[in-house]
Amino acid sequence: MKISFFKDIMPQKSAVLLIYTGGTIGMKEDPSDGTLKPFDFNSLLDEVPELRKFSLRIDAYTFAPLIDSSDVEPSMWQALANIIQEKYDDYDGFVILHGTDTMAYSASAMSFMFDHLNKPVIFTGSQLPVGRPRTDGKENLISAVEIAAARDSKGGAMVPEVCICFNSQLYRGNRSTKVNATDFDAFASPNYPPLASAGISIKYNNGFIHYPSDRRKKLEINTMLDTRVSILKIHPGITEQVVGDILLGSGSRAVILETYGSGNAISKPWFIRTVREAADSGKILLNVTQCLSGDVNMDLYATGRSLKDAGVVSGHDITTESALGKLFCLMGNYDDNEVVKSFLEKNLKGEISK
């Protein structure tokens, strides 16, 4: 079934570059202490012989050292963007094997690092190592490769976006979030529909996929990142001292305020005063809801309105992961915080419904 599907949509042999960064998918149990540690990429391909059945050229690039994604640094995103730009003309699509813990952060950040992306960049991984009998890694990897190679009747990529492929669903990377630490259904895209679903065949949700207006434009990468961002999660009992340390601390240029519901926070004078002081000092303050879905509307309640009046920018329905990547990229590219704030309000890479 899958082979005939490939013949239908692929006029000539496609090529996919698999980039292996680490994560559970390629880990093996270390008998000395029972912990999971990354293993060699060639063994990974031996574990998934099904990949050889595709009429595809699959090349591999392995990072050294392989990492648990909890150790991901923005320098890895920069390295990934450079590899993809360097190899862009040689492949139809790219699959990045990555740990699940920070996959949504990496996929989000990378979506902002590409301009004129015209080929799929698909992140995948697994909850169980690929060598385990009930692994989800095989299905995830096979679907990711199939989607990365898929082209339409004109030879264009079916999904020219940065995505996460997991548990038979393809999500836009900058809309995704890890929602489950143990189930195979580890990711969700609460505010945007899946871009594709893998059943007997892969169904593409074309109406929701972003296609570049001019497919001939050359890929550009933005690898300048400014990571001076902190996240303040509002909670009952939070103290004036803690809020002040985070909002007024000199180490950050921007603070993501993780607020209640539709963007509400504490209405106490000390809180509003601190927010105002931070905003007046020029700090970028971005309001992102703690809720899994829905969006920020600072005009709905007085508590939200006072944040807006103090100079807080609405994150609309952006995820925290995406807000972080968007800020890193915008701040890396613009020194003027007012310019950064104006771009935060805009939908740049499909990350907000606006």
Residue positions annotated with a catalytic role: 24
For ligand ASP, which stretch binds (CB under 6 A), given 47-55, 64-72, 198-206, 293-301? 64-72
Query: H-helix or E-strand containing 82?
Result: helix 74-87
Smallest gap from residue 26 Cβ to ligand ASP (A): 9
Q: 185 or 277, CB closer to ligand ASP?
A: 185
> Rounded to an integer, what distance in angstroms lies between the CA atom of residue 238 and that of residue 336?
31
Strand bridging mode 169-172 / 162-166:
antiparallel
Residues in the interface with ligand ASP (CB under 6 A) total 11
Q: Is 74 in the site for ligand ASP (CB under 6 A)?
A: no
Q: 68 or 146, CB closer to ligand ASP?
A: 68
Q: 6 or 171, CB closer to ligand ASP?
A: 171
For ligand ASP, which stretch binds (CB under 6 A), given 62-70, 231-239, 274-282, 329-337? 62-70
Contact pick of 41, 44, 62, 69 for ligand ASP (by CB under 6 A):
69
For ligand ASP, which stretch binds (CB under 6 A), given 94-102, 161-169, 231-239, 304-312? 94-102
> Rounded to an integer, what distance in angstroms lies between the CA atom of residue 336 and that of residue 318?
22
Say how many CA atoms lie within 13 Å of 28 toward its Cβ: 10
How far CA 234 is from CA of 23, 57, 242, in Å, comes to 31, 49, 10
Q: 87 or 178, CB closer to ligand ASP?
A: 178
For ligand ASP, which stretch binds (CB under 6 A), given 88-96, 97-105, 108-116, 198-206? 97-105
Nearest-CB residue to ligand ASP? 99
DSSP 3-state of 65: strand
Question: Which residues in 206-249 belong to E strands, given as ranges?
Answer: 220-221, 229-233
Smallest gap from residue 22 Cβ to ligand ASP (A): 6
Q: Is 23 in the site for ligand ASP (CB under 6 A)?
A: yes
Q: Is 24 in the site for ligand ASP (CB under 6 A)?
A: yes
Q: Is 321 in the site for ligand ASP (CB under 6 A)?
A: no
Smallest gap from residue 106 Cβ to ligand ASP (A): 10
Smallest gap from residue 67 Cβ to ligand ASP (A): 7
Q: DSSP letter for 181, please.
A: S
DSSP 3-state of 132: coil
Q: Quote the Cα angle for 93-95-100, to 5°.
A: 150
The number of residues making up the chain comes to 354
**Binding positions for ligand ASP, 114-143, rule CB under 6 A:** 125, 127
**Binding positions for ligand ASP, 281-320, rule CB under 6 A:** none
Question: Which residues in the chain belong to E strands, given as ranges?
Answer: 14-22, 27-29, 36-38, 56-67, 93-97, 114-115, 121-124, 162-166, 169-172, 177-178, 187-188, 196-198, 202-204, 220-221, 229-233, 254-259, 284-289, 313-314
Interface positions with ligand ASP (CB under 6 A): 22-24, 68-70, 99-101, 125, 127
